Copies of this chain bind each other. A is one copy, B any other.
């Protein structure tokens, strides 16, 4: 299962990068959707009031922070929340964020 795009390993994930990635409303919304759906999802399937290029930018930020995994699959890319890694490194963090009402 080759992985084109660079992802940080679990050990390389830094808390400040994760927090910074999650601090943006658009990215937070993406993460919430990914958590709700709980599966891999095509990049573009989460609808947001932003342009395609901005979406790409946010996906890269999340990927480089170690929050999501992005794997090419034909013309699209499948996106997955790295819940196991995040829970292992920062237990409770993700649940705490998702617990926030809206």
List residues of A whose CB falls within 8 A of some B CB: 15-16, 19-20, 22-25, 28, 89-97, 99-100
Contact = CB atoms under 8 A, between A and B. Distances in A.
Contacts of A23: 16, 19-20, 23
A88 to B, nearest CB: 10
A91 B96 contact: yes
Given A19-B19, A20-B23, 6 more contacts: A23-B23, A89-B100, A91-B95, A91-B99, A92-B92, A93-B96
24 contacts: A15-B97, A15-B100, A16-B23, A16-B24, A16-B25, A16-B28, A19-B22, A19-B23, A19-B28, A20-B23, A23-B23, A89-B99, A89-B100, A90-B97, A90-B99, A92-B92, A92-B93, A92-B95, A92-B96, A93-B93, A93-B95, A93-B97, A94-B96, A96-B96
